[in-house]
Chains A and B, each alone.
Chain A
Amino acid sequence: MQGPAPILVAGIGNPFMGDEGVGPAVVETFRGSWEGSPLVETVEAGTGGMALLYIMEGRQAAILVDCARMGEAPGTVRRFTPEEARSSKDLPGISLHEGDLLDLVELGRELGMLPPRLVILGIEPSWIGPGGSLSPVVREALPSCVGCLVEEVGAALEALDPAAD
């Protein structure tokens, strides 16, 4: 197999900012509980912004696990594609440090760098702020988040196109 593994699982967020770190926590738990496959690469993508485009490029599928304010009960996990959501973040456009995953996805699409299959697993936070641990309600939701991720990886594996290498 040339190039990167066809399926990417990326946990996005900062493990030192409460529930903001749920993405990396879900991916780490998934990694520890799963037998692994050369077809799937798991990455803790942190808050690196643009670098995610290069990590996604050349794959058949990417599953991005991220903390998301969606108006749901804390700990709720929702699966959606970028087309199914729009950002309601109020960003002034004065700094590169204003991260928005959906903006990044739009740019990636324009540049032709996105995998054909791109799914976001959003997890509603209870608390975001300085501190290295998840809130109790989000911690309790970890198994169900990992369950959703396992399902999503399974679906991505089934959808793999063997001809696409």
Chain B
Amino acid sequence: MGESATRTVEIDVHHITRVEGHGNIVVRASDGTIEQVEWQVPEAPRFFEAMVLDQTWDHIQTIVSRICGICSVTHSLASLKAIEDAMSIPISDQTRRLRTLLHYGEFVESHVLHVGYLAAPDLLGKPSVVPLLETHPDLVKTIVRVHRFGNEIMDWLGGRRTHPVTVKPGGFSKLPRAAELLDFKQRFEDIVPDLVTIAEAIASVADRFPDFQRETEYIGLVEEGEYPFYEGQIGSTDVDEIVPVQEFERVANEYVSPQSTAKWTKWHRDSYAVGALARFNLNADNLLPLAAKTAADLGLEKGCVNPYMNNAAQVVEVVQAVEDGLRIIEELLTEGIAPETPEVEPTAGEGVGSVEAPRGILFHRYAFDESGSCVKANICIPTNQNHANIQKDFEELVPGYLDQGEDELRFMMEMLVRSYDPCISCSTHYLEVEFV
């Protein structure tokens, strides 16, 4: 094949569902000249914001937990924190710890699913996880076991496997018993060898992560001495300034891109990234020992600007979540679970809640009137914060791979998107079938 033939590509990964759009990848190049490189996100408008308007404060969490089937805990926690901020509702240390544990359950299940179902097939040269079962059955079974473990934490503390029902403004409607804590302490200990197995499997193929570097601003929660998921203020790898979460709009700077109906964001550069790699770059110094060792084994170092390594950072975070989760359970066992019931008198006010979602920092802002009805809602999701960054990655990636031909370029671009695992088209899961 002549050079001009390989340097002319036409890629259009175009998928539209009837309700919400998927991300489309478009590349047009002719005779080595790139004419168009676009990450198009025809996402539906953010209708959940409209849906919570006029709803009372005690119904918000139930609704927003349905925004995403994978991140229902994170949306729940961000909404509760925003309501508590708006109405000055105090929460106990016990509630904070239990929420963090529940949150870890979601991180474990989401990250291991991402690594196992999207990244591992790419790294091991398989089209999906099902053929991986034939070649790497033990690895897939280990991944399923860890995913189930994360799911069981959510079932235990959230009252359900997804869309938790026990978390309320001010606390929990149902508290765990000491025997359950003891049981889960054992389970946390027992799952560690499985985490090591997964980390070793990914480390053994880590050289297959594409070697692509692009200087990037990374943004996430920071908290002195912590690797935070549930609490903190906003930090950036570009500046020392720490921004209170209440001022998140100053960081996110949402704007409309002509190629997307989802809002894009930027702060000190044309784009920024959120997610596991962002958190790692901001907080790696505060990892617990096994998580730090896992990072070293994976060749992941603070300052990494290879977006494909987000998956390696996710493996590190699963270990961190289990190590820290075990510490929290031990504290709760030592101190005992105190009976407490959330009691809230709604007041007028406005507040912000921010937590780290598996895919990056998440912000919820609500305002309430005197009766506790929601009069304003703004939800800024991590996927939207990553869109501009995916576009900028594409612009730098494509010229380097133009000579490799359409198939390789398309694979590289899809793998890049998969490393971010954008949360699109996830509030509906209906079947679409034909009969055979």
Contact = CB atoms under 8 A, between A and B. Distances in A.
Interface residues of A, number: 55
B434 interface: yes
Nearest to A122: B431
Given A67-B430, A84-B435, A128 B424 contact: no
Interface in B1-48: 13, 15-19, 22-23, 44, 47-48
Contacts, number: 184
B266 interface: no
Interface stretch (B302-310, B336-344, B413-421): B413-421
Contacts of B152: 54
A122 B16 CA distance: 22
A95 B423 contact: yes
A68 to B, nearest CB: 4
Contact of B429 (A49, A80, A111): A49
Interface in A77-91: 80, 83-91
B256 interface: no
Interface string A109-138: 011000000001010010011111000000
A125 B431 CA distance: 10
B348 interface: no
A97 B433 CA distance: 18
B404 to A, nearest CB: 19
Contacts of B110: 96
A36 B361 CA distance: 43
B210 to A, nearest CB: 16
Interface stretch (B61-69, B91-99, B234-242, B243-251): B61-69
Contact of B66 (A15, A50, A80, A94): A15
Interface in A46-62: 46-51, 54-55
B17 A92 contact: no
A96 B118 contact: yes
A68 B431 contact: yes
A117 to B, nearest CB: 19
The interface size bin for chain B is: 35 or more
Contacts of A90: 15-17
Contacts of B425: 95, 97-98
Contacts of A96: 70, 110, 113-114, 117-118, 421
A70 interface: yes
B257 interface: no
A91 B22 CA distance: 8
Contact of A46 (B162, B418, B436): B162
Interface string B152-174: 10000000111100000000000
B148 interface: yes
B432 A89 contact: yes
Nearest to A70: B433
A86 B147 CA distance: 26
Nearest to B434: A88
A69 B429 contact: no
B260 to A, nearest CB: 15
A94 B428 CA distance: 16
**Of listed A16, A45, A111, residue having the most chain B CB within 10 A:** A16
B422 interface: yes
A85 B19 contact: no
Nearest to A83: B436
Given A16-B66, A68-B430, A95-B23, 5 more contacts: A14-B429, A20-B430, A86-B436, A96-B118, A130-B51
Interface of A: 12-17, 20, 45-51, 54-55, 66-71, 80, 83-102, 106-107, 110-111, 120, 122, 125, 128-132
Interface of B: 13, 15-19, 22-23, 44, 47-48, 50-51, 63, 66, 68-70, 72, 109-110, 113-114, 117-118, 127-130, 133, 140-141, 144, 147-148, 151-152, 160-163, 414, 417-418, 421-436
Q: Which 7 A-B pairs have the closest CB atoms?
A: A48-B162, A99-B429, A97-B426, A47-B69, A130-B47, A68-B431, A51-B161
11 contacts: A66-B429, A68-B433, A71-B434, A94-B13, A95-B423, A96-B117, A97-B423, A97-B424, A106-B130, A120-B431, A132-B51
